[in-house]
Structure 1
Amino acid sequence: MSGHRRWPVLWLLAGAVALAGCNRGGEEAQGEPGEEAQAQAVPVETVAAARRTVAASYTGTASLEPLAESQVVAKTSGVALQVLAEEGQAVRAGQTLVRLDPDRARLNMAQLEAQMRKLENNFKRSEQLAAQQLISAGEHDQLRYDLENARAAHRLAALELSYTNVTAPISGVVASRSIKTGNFVQINTPILRIVDNSRLEATLNVPERELATLKAGQPVSMQVDALPGVTFEGRVDRVAPVVDAGSGTFRVICAFEGGDSLQPGMFGRIRIDYDQRADALAVPRMALLDDEGEPAVYVVRDGKAVRTTVATGYADGAFVEVREGLEQGDQVVTAGKVALRDGSDVQVIGAPAAATATAAAARTDGDSR
């Protein structure tokens, strides 16, 4: 009989447990109204549209070339008695770089000088005889021509003798040397190379659509792969006035001051600023949507993403100018925009949680009304 009495008690306990579960379920269903909305919001990062200086620019790449370059050649043959220049040495125009054996050239000059002196004496006697009409005018003229020819040959011999001192045709730095002391040098053989690196030039082949915007004197900035993080300043030195019909480009030559850092042959990334706006409203480029329609961004307003069409202007590095569609301080989405649609709820990363919950609750109350 005691077993029969336990059944009513068990039924009462089961009913109480079920009732308690229902009460808890009701309490959970009546939780904070903003929690569900907050759980469905898309997390995003935003940046405020702000005013900044934006420059319009053209960018390109080119190798640096020296202002002048010269292959030093031997203008006569001979054995190199002295080599007076080394690679990397600075030289000036007219400086002797190599001395060749001058003996042959010196003897040839002495021989021609003796012949010239003999003809000078003969011509003097001829003048006296011509004055006395003891020789014909033709004989006198022939002696004059022979003397002039001897003098020219003597000057040529002196020039050949001077060629035994090989001099620098330009000022600059010895870039390479292909001769050693004791080598026999043939005439017209290149033996050294000199580059004038006091100024370096970079030539850009620019599309013809930029012909009206790029002018001589515009500022230029450049970075080279060999010196990361360093920016060099220069200017547009000259602009070719014609467009190549085959490539549709024109040449823009940029000039930079040379020195120990910049060297000929370096590869440069060049930027020419041709216009600037000092107080332009700008947003990061990453805020622009990637679709093929008109330029647009997502602006966060009252916890929602609002797709906003904008009119863009100059693009300057990581920023783009916005001429229409935004106001200063508008929060534009820079990260998380792929998952957004117009009107999506958003959770701005870094925004206070209490403010987000309040906004979500306000939206829920508005929907219930």
Structure 2
Amino acid sequence: MSTVLKYVIAVCLVAAFVAAGVLGTEALVSWSEDSSEQESGRQATRVGIAMPEMRTIEDDVSAVGTLRPVRAVQIVPDVAGRVTEVPVSSGQQVSEGDLLIQLDDRAERAAVAEAEATLSEAEQEYRRFERLEETNAAAEARLEEARAAFLRAEAVLMRAQAALEDRAVNAPFGGTLGVIDTEKGTFLNGSETVTRLSDLSMIEVSVTLPERYFERVTPGQTLEIRTPAFPDETFEGRVTLRAPEIDLGTRSFEIRAEVDNSDGLLVGGMFANSRLVLGSSEGMAIPDDAIISEGLATYVYTVTDGTAARTDIEVGTSLGPLTEVRDGLDMDSRVVIAGWDQLSDGAPVEIDEDVAREGLE
């Protein structure tokens, strides 16, 4: 091949490569421009937003406890005897002094009658000697003997009356009776429990708390309780006692609170979920619908100048449909509560009030 032919082929190849490069560059520029046009024409996502709210944040601690009446006693007759009357029934409301159990008291009533007669005779004798002393007709010794006999008779009567009273078992205070299985004719030995009497007008709840809360608990603080028996009811009471020391075994301490029970719903032995309010402060809160959790990350989308921004936050106490936010937002933040599942950081957004209302429903 001649030198001239080789030269012509080389020139043709160079020209071909140059042409290919120009075409490729134009194609890249054209693709880049098309991509930019598509990106600039990206459709905005319709979202609903909400503003943070200031709410009262309560610092509280939860614990489980047991309910018991503030006053309750076992009803046990002081003496042995046969039952002659049971004028009350299980679960009955009674007043202070009401008769609960009557024992056979015939011997005791006879003893009282005899003691009253003896006392009357002794008193007459004593008064007679008093009158004789005024006329100096009676010796001092005889008068003292009569006085002593009178006092002894008075004491015998008092013992007989006490024995008679012991045959009747009365309510020491007003309250609600427990189960009564005692029937007329039953013989009681003086140590058997007949029933239990509880004053349910006020209920006491006892709970234990970890040692770290010891200095923060004081009488008068509010304690709320809920029970499985009434899951939709919340009962409120006041702390009346904080134990003066920490239990060495459990490193905890007991507190007690009294809960008004004038409606009679609560009874002793009930299980109680308790919440003790230790204090309160003002804090910022946002709807739960705005909060996104992924692993250890918690964040929301905020809107600024029509653009969504992923914003990490630190959450605090749950407030029903709201949650406290301790860090990451301010009161002017516009938080996405609906439509965030279609967002990414930097995405264009369009705020729609209808979407916001749907998100909060």
TM-score (norm 2): 0.69
The answer to whether residue 284 in structure 2 is matched with residue 280 in structure 1 is yes
Residue 331 of structure 1: how far off its partner (Å): 5.2
The answer to whether residue 65 in structure 2 is matched with residue 73 in structure 1 is no
Once residues 180 and 234 of structure 2 are traced to their aligned partners in structure 1, the CA distance between those partners, rounded to angstroms, is 32
What is the aligned partner in structure 2 of residue 244 from structure 1? Answer: 246
Once residues 217 and 272 of structure 2 are traced to their aligned partners in structure 1, the CA distance between those partners, rounded to angstroms, is 18
Aligned ranges 1:319-334 → 2 under 5 Å: 321-328=324-331, 329=333
Q: Choose the corresponding residue for 1:50, options 49, 52, 57.
A: 52
- Partner deviation per Cα, 1:93-135 (whole Å, 9 max, x = no partner): 0111222222110111122222222222322333344445555
Residue 305 of structure 1: how far off its partner (Å): 5.2
Once residues 313 and 230 of structure 1 are traced to their aligned partners in structure 2, the CA distance between those partners, rounded to angstroms, is 26
- Partner deviation per Cα, 1:149-171 (whole Å, 9 max, x = no partner): 11011022122222322210111
Note if contact 1:63-1:266 (Cα within 8 Å) is conserved in structure 2: yes
Query: Structure 2 stretches of 5 or more lacking a match?
Result: 1-30, 40-47, 350-361
Residue 175 of structure 1: how far off its partner (Å): 1.4
Once residues 180 and 87 of structure 1 are traced to their aligned partners in structure 2, the CA distance between those partners, rounded to angstroms, is 12
Q: Choose the corresponding residue for 2:114, options 111, 114, 119.
A: 111
Once residues 318 and 63 of structure 1 are traced to their aligned partners in structure 2, the CA distance between those partners, rounded to angstroms, is 30
Residues 250, 267 of structure 1: CA spacing in aligned structure 2 closer, same or farther, 3 A cutoff? same
Once residues 178 and 171 of structure 1 are traced to their aligned partners in structure 2, the CA distance between those partners, rounded to angstroms, is 20
Note if contact 2:226-2:274 (Cα within 8 Å) is conserved in structure 1: yes
Once residues 316 and 150 of structure 1 are traced to their aligned partners in structure 2, the CA distance between those partners, rounded to angstroms, is 75
Aligned ranges 1:39-188 → 2 under 5 Å: 50-53=52-55, 54-131=57-134, 133=136, 135-188=138-191
Tell me how many residue pairs correspond in the alignment: 301
The answer to whether residue 249 in structure 2 is matched with residue 253 in structure 1 is no
Note if contact 1:298-1:332 (Cα within 8 Å) is conserved in structure 2: no
Once residues 86 and 165 of structure 2 are traced to their aligned partners in structure 1, the CA distance between those partners, rounded to angstroms, is 16
**Secondary structure at 1:57 match in 2:** strand
Query: Structure 1 stretches of 5 or more lacking a match?
Result: 1-26, 35-45, 334-346, 360-369
- Partner deviation per Cα, 1:263-304 (whole Å, 9 max, x = no partner): 22111111122333455235759856765xxxx633447677
**Secondary structure at 2:154 match in 1:** helix
Identity %: 22
TM-score (norm 1): 0.68
Q: CA RMSD in A?
A: 3.9
Amino acid at match of 1:184: F
Once residues 159 and 150 of structure 2 are traced to their aligned partners in structure 1, the CA distance between those partners, rounded to angstroms, is 14
What is the aligned partner in structure 2 of residue 235 from structure 1? Answer: 237
Residues 290, 65 of structure 1: CA spacing in aligned structure 2 closer, same or farther, 3 A cutoff? farther
The answer to whether residue 268 in structure 2 is matched with residue 264 in structure 1 is yes
Once residues 336 and 209 of structure 2 are traced to their aligned partners in structure 1, the CA distance between those partners, rounded to angstroms, is 35
Residues 49, 64 of structure 1: CA spacing in aligned structure 2 closer, same or farther, 3 A cutoff? farther
What is the aligned partner in structure 2 of residue 349 from structure 1? Answer: 341
Residues 249, 298 of structure 1: CA spacing in aligned structure 2 closer, same or farther, 3 A cutoff? same
Residue 180 of structure 1: how far off its partner (Å): 1.0
Amino acid at match of 2:275: R
